[in-house]
């Protein structure tokens, strides 16, 4: 993925910079840097849309034939177990909501309030970092592709 995001408007660059820092902090297991960068993500409008797109792009690349329930369970378990080793605040339910949202199948029931934006911002980089461990590629290309996809979608709507 060679698409970049550095030419984008300031709000988009802020999301990309914070997301990159958060993913790198997760990969390095640096709780201080992770907390700072995810706090920035939580205040950035539309960061959830961007990170959800990145997760979907990664899932599509890793599972080109699609995912079944066992695949989703494996992704969830691997992410939560890896994150729990250094970030004890990881919540499996939030990671599951992120996965379901990225796949377009999240539908909260009447009694199930979705996690708030802060919880999503604090967990999305964990999922992205875990999926990147499979591809071995940097997050920047996926962010650029996510922004391009979002822009394309918005132009057609």
Q: Is residue 1 in a domain?
A: no
- 101 lies in some domain: yes
Query: What average pLDDT does this structure show over 43-63?
Result: 94
Sign of CA dihedral 119, 120, 122, 126: positive
pLDDT at 1: 46
Contact 95, 127 (CB under 8 A): yes
The token duo for 70 is 């066992």
pLDDT value at residue 113: 81
Query: Per the domain annotation, does 2 fall within a domain?
Result: no
Instruction: Provide the 8-state DSSP code for 8.
Output: S
- pLDDT for res 135: 95
**Average pLDDT along the chain:** 91
Domain count, the chain: 1
Write down the pLDDT at residue 2.
43
Report d(CA 148, CA 60) in Å as an integer: 16
Is residue 127 assigned to a domain? yes
Nearest one of 126, 133, 72, 77 to 101, comparing CA atoms: 72
Has residue 4 been placed in a domain?
Answer: no
Write down how long the chain is.
157
Domain that holds residue 118: 10-156
Residue 26 placed within a domain = yes
Mean pLDDT calculated for residue range 77-105: 95
Please indicate, yes or no, if residue 80 is contained in any of the structural domains. Answer: yes
3-class SS at 68? coil
Residue 145 in domain: yes
pTM of the model: 0.91
């Amino acid at each position: 993925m060679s698409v970049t995001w550095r030419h984008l408007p300031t709000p988009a660059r802020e999301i990309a910079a914070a997301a990159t820092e958060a993913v790198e902090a997760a990969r390095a297991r640096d709780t201080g840097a992770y907390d700072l960068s995810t706090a920035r993500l939580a205040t950035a409008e539309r960061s959830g849309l961007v990170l959800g797109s990145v997760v979907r792009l990664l899932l599509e690349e890793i599972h080109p034939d699609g995912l079944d329930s066992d695949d989703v369970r494996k992704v969830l378990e691997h992410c939560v177990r890896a994150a729990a080793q250094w970030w004890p605040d990881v919540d499996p339910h939030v990671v599951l909501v992120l996965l379901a949202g990225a796949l377009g199948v999240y539908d909260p029931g009447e009694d199930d309030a979705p996690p708030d934006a802060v919880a999503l911002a604090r967990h999305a980089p964990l999922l992205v970092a875990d999926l990147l461990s499979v591809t071995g590629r940097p997050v920047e290309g996926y962010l650029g592709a996510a922004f391009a996809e979002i822009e394309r979608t918005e132009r057609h709507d």
